[in-house]
Amino acid sequence: MAFSIDNYDIFNYIDNAHEDEINLGISYLKLGHYVDSLDQFNFILDNNSNNLTALILRGITYSKLEKYENALSDAHRSLEIDPTSLSSFILRGETYFMLGKFNDALIDLNKALKINPNNTYVLTLNGEIYLNFQLYDKVLLCFKIVSEFDHSNIESLVHSNNALQKLINTLLFHGESFYSLKQYDKALLYYDKVLEIDPFNLIALSFRGKVHYSLGQYYNAFLDLNKALDINPLDIVTLLYRGEAYFNHGHYDKALSDLEKVLEQYDKDLYMSLEIKSNYANVLILQAKICFNLEKYSDTIQFLSKALEIDTKNKIILTLRGGAYFYLNQHNDVIRDLNQVLEIEQNNATVIFLRGEAFYCLGRFHEALVDFNEALKIEPNNIDMLILRGEAYLNLEHYYNANSDFDKAIEFLPTNVTALMFQSKIYLSLGLQEDLLTCMNKILDIEPNNPYALFCRSEIWFILEQYNNVLKIEPDFVSTLILRETAYFRLRKYDKAHKDFSKVFEIEPNNETTVNYLIDAFNGLDFTSMKHFMIKSSKKFEMNNITAIMLCGEEFFIRGQFDYALLYFNKVLEISPNDKTALILIAKIFFILKKYENAIRYLNEILKVDPNNDFALFYRSEANFKLERHKESHLNTEKLSKILEIEFNNSFILYNSDINFKLRQFNKAISDLDIAIKLKPNDIEMLILRGKAYFFLEKYDLALFDFIKALELEPNNIFTQLYINEIFDKPLLLKNKISLSGKLL
């Protein structure tokens, strides 16, 4: 505020008696010698305390010295002398303005306008006050009048720098007011006018750039902001605008560069005003948003924590930091920050919902439900909230409530695949195959190539023995291909089964199961043609003839088709009479068939080759025991201990365990698999089989450990994913749901 005597109608009050003294004081005042000016006006007032001109001028002098209370006192006294004094009202109004008492200032300035409605200085002051009150219509009215007076005498104004600057300021106020009212086209007209007068006006360029950006005219926006920064590369406001513009366009590196320049200047300012502190916090928040979008959550928290030192109760900062903590799985910190937000704003549905998600991730489902219910009272049609509340109900096995939420979500958005997926879990858990099939059909209507739905629907048809329906799928991943081609196999369409298992083999050439199915599918259980095929395929599969025959025999062994298995193993012995694996498996078959004499015969053959073979010794002892030959069946404790540590044939242990599994002898299966997995810790089939055994024993934590390891080794194994999905419904391990469900879905 200028407090210039040129803005006051002083000279009409100068009396002849003190004219010289007053003119001297005015000279001091204009030269900036305020102490001398003050002494001069005090001298006059000591002689005549009611000299109105001296009182007003002393009040102006006090204002120059920033002694506003003294200036206010002189303004009061001058109005007691003359209640209609225009200059006295201006002085007091201007002093109130400097003291931040805008309502009082407005009262006095409006009184001044009643005396002289055309006083442009008073109109300008009023406009600034209305701007502080965000009464933009009144601001525009004031400055419109001022502009009209300025334009009516534009030629004389051009010759005066002060008047020209006054016009520019008025136009800038017009522009800012229209911008605040979001009337961007009108704001643009005023900034254009300023730049016609002064093409290098930093404020106009900066604000016009912001207006262009708001209008979606991004090229022009960056053009103006860049020009402004050419004039002053360190202009904080322009750097902040451009940084925000870069942020909104995803140019994070450029945004961070501008914001760093702003922070460097703020860091040098040791005594920040409240306004500067607020801007400083805004820069930190913007930097935090950039880091958040770049998934640099630790950096996000660092910036926001610094911003909270400035504004400890800022709900935007607390909410954003809570979100960053959420992605770092620091859910207790999430809850702490969001609790503070909800103390400030109790009915913020987004914050309540996010806190509910944090409770959910901690396995505190009842507390999560309280928050989800509260959030849905505020936003009853929020699909995301409905789905997550449904998940919470699902984990608590409240299937009816869960299904109700998923139904509502689907009602609002019929193509919501996520809701349909979760609904399918309910039907799967309850064994409602027809409803599950309907659900899968809906998903495939929306996403025809959805792998989960294709596999699940095919598996339902397979269970229902609707093999022809299974054949309709067009899968592109291994598990579903195997399922479909198994259907071909069941229908004895061996040529088609062979074709598609060949495709599987191209995708996973090291998958032994694929090779086994491929051989069986090609030959249709005809050994003669199979032998021809195995010889023909030996180079392709990089295995010798014995290996191929063994694979076939082992496959029949798994299926319990022991006659075929014996055929293959005996064929192996024709080629290699001392093949221990074939001898062991033949002995095992006879043992299972309770043909103990035959079993002993083959076990003896093993012991001829390997007299200390612990497996043969153990099973021969067991066979003799079954035949009540107790003396021959005895094994000492040392021998039994060694048997538990021997390196069995891995395939045999797997198949032996599979038989135990099928006989629901899960603990025996686990015992065998423990040995095998110590030898081959990354064998996927063994891990899955042991996981299944633990699953059926309801040891879900141990099952999950095996399934997760198998999934890490083979991420696309749908069978592993389905078992993990089943475990999600078990209360013991629900806290792992968020991190694992991403892999499944």
The CATH number of the domain covering residues in 647-745: 1.25.40.10
How do residues 618-645 score in pLDDT, each as one tens digit?
A: 778 778 877 877 666 555 434 444 444 4
| Residue 317 in this model has a pLDDT that exceeds 80 | yes
Name the residue with tokens 């399918």: 424
What is residue 513's predicted lDDT score, i.e. its pLDDT?
54
Whether 552 and 572 have beta carbons less than 8 Å apart is answered as: no
Q: Which whole number is the average pLDDT over 455-484?
A: 53
How do residues 296-306 score in pLDDT, each as one tens digit?
A: 889 899 888 98
Torsion, Cα 742 486 509 716, to 10 degrees, reads 0
Tell me the one-letter amino acid at 586.
I
Quickly count helices (H) and strands (E) in the chain.
44, 0
Could you please state the CATH topology (level 3) that the domain comprising 272-380 is classified under.
1.25.40
| 103: enclosing H helix or E strand | helix 102-115
Q: Which residue has the higher pLDDT, 428 or 46?
A: 46
Reported as a pLDDT band with limits 50, 70 and 90, residue 79 is very high
What is residue 463's predicted lDDT score, i.e. its pLDDT?
54
User: pTM here?
Assistant: 0.42
The SS3 assignment for 582 reads helix
| Residue 126 in this model has a pLDDT that exceeds 70 | yes
Q: What's the rounded Cα separation, in Å, for the pair 367 and 353?
A: 11
What is residue 168's predicted lDDT score, i.e. its pLDDT?
76
Share of the chain above pLDDT 90, in %: 10
Q: Which whole number is the average pLDDT over 189-213?
A: 85
C-alpha neighbours within 13 Å on the C-beta side of residue 526: 9
How do residues 250-291 score in pLDDT, each as one tens digit?
A: 787 887 787 778 777 766 554 456 666 777 778 888 888 888
- What are the C-alpha distances in Å from 607 to residues 34, 603, 644? 120, 6, 18
Residues of the chain with CATH 1.25.40.10: 272-380, 647-745
